[in-house]
Each structure stands twice: as structure tokens, then as C-alpha cells.
Structure 1
Amino acid sequence: MEKTHIPTASNNDEIDLLELAKTVWDKKRLLISIVVLFALLGVLVALVSQNEFTAGSTFVPQTSEQGKVGGNLGGLASLAGINLGGLSGGSEIPPSLYPKIVSSVSFKKDLLNATLNTQGNSQPITYQYYFDSIYRPGLLPLISKYSVGLPGFLIKTIKNNKVIDSPSNGYGLINVTENEFGHFKRLDNQVSIQFNEKEGFVSLSFSMPESLMAAQMAKFAEELLQKEVIEFKIQNAREQLKFTEERFEEKKIEFEEIQRKLANFRDRNQNLSSAIVLNQLEKLEAEYNFAFNIYTELAKQLEQAKLQVSKDTPIFSIIQPVTIPIEKSAPKRPLIVIVFVFLGLIIAFGYIFGREFFISVKDQWESKYL
């Protein structure tokens, strides 16, 4: 009896590469057309994209070594993959937390008030004023704003027209307006900070539409970050210095007053030798000596407090200072074109094979039910 070959499921599920290649070859014009269209679109996007310049600096924070766990123990722990840096007892901010400072609301508010010298403006302006009144976005942001982002833009416009009384100021909280929040989102993409834990250095960069502004904002952000770290580190020493200065000024006034009384008493009683006068003189001299000792001791403590503030102040060693960038950092126009070409290839292949699959499924359904 003659046997018929029954195709197995594995045979049906096999992919015929030659058939796929033939399908692509038959649709080569469509494939080339889609790829060329996306390549032209990529060239257009690359040309209308706005230039950006990135400036930055690299520095090493000289942190205190006092609060660390013993050197030998810490070295052995690091070899074992254990980080004992968190066990230090110093009141300083570790460099690993610098990104948290940069992303804080108070830090961003200070960045909005950074002064800039821009081309075409004789007077310095702030970062916020530049992006509110001077900056003109490119074509792509405008198209995105009034197409995909149109609903959000309308909602934002309606919210801005409403007068809302914020009760946060009455409670001493930080209030962020809608305008500031929009600037904050831009800052998140413009400022970048990284800490190299292995080498121990910090890299900070800032991107702006102009090279000079990028360097100015990078320098301002660097100085602001270092100021925040220094303020936190010397907070205790500065409070102690302030307390000592207040006590020193009080005792100085008291000492000068007793000194004046003693001098006046001696001037009035130069030739008198009565016991009462001598007792009063001894009493004033005792008060004077007591006040002088306190005054002298506070003067020493005041100098020690000043030295402690200087001692606790962190030092930042600048490895790479901020320089005005010459070459733009974005957009990467060749990369944009390549990405659009690959995107065109993916869409073209997806359309060709998807269309063939849909036709084959339709033919099978018609042959089975019609």
C-alpha cells in the first residue's frame, strides 16, 4: 500500500529563510523607499535639533580621616568586599551623597538665581529669566509642545490662570511654583554629577545652549555644592564660635565696666588709708581679677573656636577646572541619522512580513470556510 507523507508540526513551524529572502527581494523597492524616507527624516531632525554645550569640572574632596575605622581593619574589610565607610563618626557629607544635594529643591532654587552673561545682553541675567524671556526652543520642541504635549499645555495654562493661595509659607515649608517646577525638570537633564568611589574624585557637568553659559552654570554649581558641603561640615564649629563670641562680648563689657570702676575708685582715694577704703579697694581688685581671668579664658576659647572652624573646613582639590567648551556635546547628528535608518529598517521589515503573514492567514481562512 502506498504511504502518503504527512507533514509534522515541526516541519510546519520551520522558517524558510530562502522564502523570507525572496519576499524581501520582491518588496525591495518598498523597503528602500521606507529606509530612504526615514533617513531623510533623520537628517531633518539632526539639522533642526538645537546645539548644546557641556562644561564641567573634576575635583577631589579632602575628607576628614578621624572618624574612620582603623586603617588596617578598613583595608582588610575592603579586600573582603565590605565597605566600612558608613561607620565613621565624622559630621561630614560623604561624596556619595553629593547627587542628593544637587537634586534637592533648595539647591535647584539657588541654581535658578545664578547670574549669567549672555551674548547680546550687556547686563547679567539669571538662569530663570533667560529661559522665561530670552530662550527660544528649536523646531522639534515646538512641534512636540503643540502636538503630543498639547493636552498637558492646555491643562497647565488653565492652572496658571487660577489664583491659588498656598498655605505652605505659614508653616515654614518650601513652596514650589508651577514655573519653578518646569525649570526643575529641565535642570534634571542639564546638571550631572558622578562620584568615582574607586579613585575618589567627583565629576560635575552642566549643559546649556551656549558655551559661555554652560561654563558659568558649571562653575556656579561647583561653588554652590562646595559651599553646601562646607556649611554642613563646620556647622557645629560655627555654632560653637558664635556662642563663644557672644559670651566673650558680654564678659568684655563686664570687664571694662569693673576696670573703669576700679580706676575711678583709685583716683578718688589716692591719699586715704582707712580700713573701709582698703576693704572696698580689695573687693574691687578681686572683682577685677576674677573678670580679667574669665575675659582672658574666653579670649583663648574664641581663638580656639576660630581655629577649629578653619580646621573643620573641607578642602577641595581641583583636578580639572571649568573651561569654556569649544565643541558642542549635542546633538550627535550622525548618530541620529543612523538611528533613524535602523528604525526605518525595522518598520519596513515589520510591515513587509506582517503584511505577508496577514495575507497567508486570510487565504487559509478563506480556503477553509469559503
Structure 2
Amino acid sequence: MNTENNIPPQAEREIDLLELAGRLWVKRRFILCVTAVFMVLGLLAGIFGAKEYAASCQIVPQTSRSNSSSSMARLASLAGINMGNMTSNEQVLSPLVYPNVMASVAFQRELLQTPINVAGESGPVTLLSYLSDEKHRKFSLAGFVLKYTIGLPGLVMQAIKGEPVEREMPQSDIIVLSREERLAMRRLNNIIGMEVEEKKGYITIVARMPEAFAAAQVAESALTLLQRYITEFKIDKVKRNLDFIQGRYDELKREYEDIQMIRARYRDANQNTSTSRARTELEKLDNQYNLAYSIFSEMATQLEQAKIQVKETTPVLTVISPVAMPVKPSKPRKMMLLAAFTFLGLVAGSGYVLVRPMVAEFLGSMRDEERKRKEGNA
């Protein structure tokens, strides 16, 4: 009776695990040497790696609302009626849209024009120049290793495709990015970021740069630019209404002043005249003056209401934690790098020990088959 066929699968798995553990134990010195080498690489990456400073700010989006609408909503809620958005004509721009605004081409293109102060330059340079010029790139051991290991397929594909050819485009409102702008925007996505804490109700803007003051400048510029973009999106409709009323107000004001001047001149020219024709003409001018004044006053009231509506609709980004220049670098995280390289070295050494016999066995079997085939042909 063949006892080998009666060995349960669980026992086979235990035997395999014991065999693998035995291989690792025999080659433990080799594994420890490989791990030590990786630990040294991690230590060097932590010590000589490029520093990165993170400047951040926290904001709370707020929009002013009409007191009368709020009072009506409270009264309706007491009666058990949920009026929802019927009490206000405002359309609140969700904070979840803010990251899309920051990621838009128009926003990033304008953000790239931010002047920043960097070491080695006599004066401020634009963020576009800083990100597109290779002279501002600092060497990073960890980044170098990742670039030519994990990122190697991407480099090969980029080399095969090559750089796109720049062509002159006709004048239009379509945004056409240059090669420098495309390169800078790809790098900008790794520099500026936004985190929306929907439950807590605040937004965090973070800028990461190799220099502390430059990071603070980029974060402050992103905050200012975001305030302007959100304001433009929110008040576009009421602003156009205000512009229309303002134009109509200026037109009615000129007409009112013209009629007022004609009426005054006629009064001066007919002070001693008491004819019916003169009185009729004066009554006609008075009626025109009163009508013009009534329309002009009504338009002035609408103008003030439109201005108030613009101010009420304008969103306010309340800064609860302003931008401050960071003192300590946020990267490299030395302990994390050391732990990551140590684990990578342990996996690499163990993997080599376990895989090498399998590869050798596979190659040996292929050589045996090739030899047998040659002997059979002979």
C-alpha cells in the first residue's frame, strides 16, 4: 500500500512550509546582508533626501442669507412645514466642487503665474518657470530609485511616443497650453492639494515645496485665487443683473437731469409771463419732470437692492487657520523610509532565496528536455 498517497493535504502544506522555512534559515546570513544593505540605502535616503515643506490653511465656506427668509423658514418649521430652498433664491455652491475648481486648467494656468522666492535667484520667479526649468529640480535618492524601478515602464513609453510637436494655433477663446505649461501642470498636481472634510465642515489647502517660504507663497496665492473664482461663479447672475440696472440707472439719470435743466430754463425765461400757453407748457414740463423723477427714484431703489443682493450672494471663505511659513520639513520621513527599505530588503532577500531554486530547477528541466530531444534525433 502506497503511504505517500494517503498523506492529507494539510500535512503536505505543513511540510512545504517547513521546507521553505528551512531554506530561509539556512540562507539567513544572506538575507540579513541584503536587508542591511537596504537599511543603509533607506538611511541615506532619509539623510540626503530632498526636503519638502508643507504650508496649509483651513477655511470654512459661508454664504450670507436673507434674515426675512430665515425668519419665514423658522415660522414654517414651527408649523411643521419644510420649505427647503423655497425661502431663498440662492444657489449654494457645494464645497465638493472646490477641488474641481482648483484642478481646472484656467485656475492652474493662473496659479502658475504666482511669483515665488527661491534660493539661487536674485529676484522672484514665476511658479511656471520654477516647475518647467530643470535647474530647479533637486536630486532625491528615493525619487531616483522609484523613477527607474516602478516608473521605468512610463519612461520607456514616453521615450517611444516622444514629445508632441508644437503647432501654431489660430486665435480663439480655446485654451491652448504650451509644452512648458503642460509639464508644469503635471508637477503642480503633486505640489498643491485640497482636502474637503464634509462632515466637519472645513476645507484644507496644502502646498508642498522644497523651500518653506515658497510653499507659503503658493498656498496663499491658491487661497486668494480660489476666493475669486468661487465668488465669480456664485455672483455671476446677480452681477449681470446689477450691471444691467446700473446701465439703465445711468441712462434715466441723464434723462432726468436734461428735463430738470429744460424746466429750469423755461421757468427763468417766463417768470413775468402769465399767458395760458406759458402755463400749459410749464404744466407739461412739470409732468415730464415728475414722471422722470418717479422713474429715476424707482430705478435708484432697484439699484440699491441689486447691490445688496450682490453682497448677500457673495460667498465668504472664513479662514480659521491662516497660511504660516512651515518651520520643520514634512519630508523625508526618516523612520518611515528606514522601515520601508528594511521591509523591502527583507522581501527581496527572502524572495531571491525562495525563487532561485525554482528557477534553477526550471532551467535544468529545460536543458534535460533539450538534451533528450537531441539524443532522440540522433
**Is this a same-fold pair by TM over 0.5?**
yes
Is contact 2:39–2:338 with CA below 8 Å preserved after alignment? Answer: yes
Q: 1:283 maps to what in 2?
A: 284
> Offset at 1:339?
1.1
| 1:318 to 2:324 alignment | no
* Structure-2 separation of matches of 1:152 and 1:206: 28
Q: 1:265 maps to what in 2?
A: 266
Unaligned runs of 5+ in 2: 78-83, 373-378
> Offset at 1:25?
2.3
> Offset at 1:15?
3.5
**Structure 1 segment 140-289 matched on structure 2, within 5 A:** 140=141, 144=147, 148=152, 149=155, 152=158, 156=162, 159=164, 162-167=165-170, 169-170=171-172, 172-289=173-290
* Structure-1 separation of matches of 2:50 and 2:4: 63
Is contact 2:65–2:313 with CA below 8 Å preserved after alignment? Answer: no
Is contact 1:92–1:229 with CA below 8 Å preserved after alignment? Answer: no
Is contact 1:58–1:318 with CA below 8 Å preserved after alignment? Answer: yes
Question: Which amino acid is 1:99 matched to?
Answer: P
Question: Which amino acid is 2:6 matched to?
Answer: T
Q: TM-score, normalised by structure 1?
A: 0.83
Question: Which amino acid is 1:302 matched to?
Answer: L
Is contact 2:191–2:209 with CA below 8 Å preserved after alignment? Answer: yes
**Structure 1 segment 67-82 matched on structure 2, within 5 A:** none
> Which segment drifts farther, 7-16 or 194-203?
7-16
> Offset at 1:329?
1.1
> Which segment drifts farther, 239-248 or 115-124?
115-124
Is contact 1:62–1:314 with CA below 8 Å preserved after alignment? Answer: yes
Is contact 2:65–2:312 with CA below 8 Å preserved after alignment? Answer: no
SS at match of 1:219: helix
Find 2:5's aligned residue among 7, 19, 22.
7
> Offset at 1:114?
1.2
SS at match of 2:277: helix
| 1:23 to 2:23 alignment | yes
* Structure-1 separation of matches of 2:319 and 2:60: 6
> Offset at 1:131?
2.7
Is contact 2:56–2:206 with CA below 8 Å preserved after alignment? Answer: yes
Is contact 1:219–1:322 with CA below 8 Å preserved after alignment? Answer: yes
Q: 2:49 maps to what in 1?
A: 49
> Offset at 1:180?
1.0
Aligned residue pairs, count: 351
Q: What is the RMSD computed on CA atoms of the aligned residues?
A: 3.4
Is contact 1:64–1:90 with CA below 8 Å preserved after alignment? Answer: no
Q: 2:96 maps to what in 1?
A: 96
Is contact 2:53–2:211 with CA below 8 Å preserved after alignment? Answer: yes
Question: Which amino acid is 2:264 matched to?
Answer: A
Q: 2:118 maps to what in 1?
A: 118
Unaligned runs of 5+ in 1: 74-83
SS at match of 2:138: coil
* Structure-1 separation of matches of 2:199 and 2:21: 51
Q: 1:76 maps to what in 2?
A: none
Question: Which amino acid is 1:96 matched to?
Answer: L
**Structure 1 segment 347-366 matched on structure 2, within 5 A:** 347-359=348-360
Change (3 A) 1:27 1:54: same
Is contact 2:166–2:179 with CA below 8 Å preserved after alignment? Answer: no
Change (3 A) 1:238 1:338: same
* Per-residue deviation, residues 14-53 of structure 1 (Å, max 9, x unmatched): 2424433332222123212221222223233334421111
Is contact 1:95–1:195 with CA below 8 Å preserved after alignment? Answer: yes
> Which segment drifts farther, 310-319 or 256-265?
310-319
Is contact 2:131–2:187 with CA below 8 Å preserved after alignment? Answer: no
* Structure-2 separation of matches of 1:228 and 1:163: 30
* Structure-2 separation of matches of 1:264 and 1:362: 113
Q: TM-score, normalised by structure 2?
A: 0.81
* Structure-1 separation of matches of 2:308 and 2:161: 56
* Structure-2 separation of matches of 1:180 and 1:288: 60
> Offset at 1:122?
5.1
Identity %: 32
> Offset at 1:155?
5.5
* Structure-2 separation of matches of 1:139 and 1:57: 27
Is contact 2:54–2:215 with CA below 8 Å preserved after alignment? Answer: yes
Change (3 A) 1:163 1:26: closer
* Structure-2 separation of matches of 1:101 and 1:163: 27
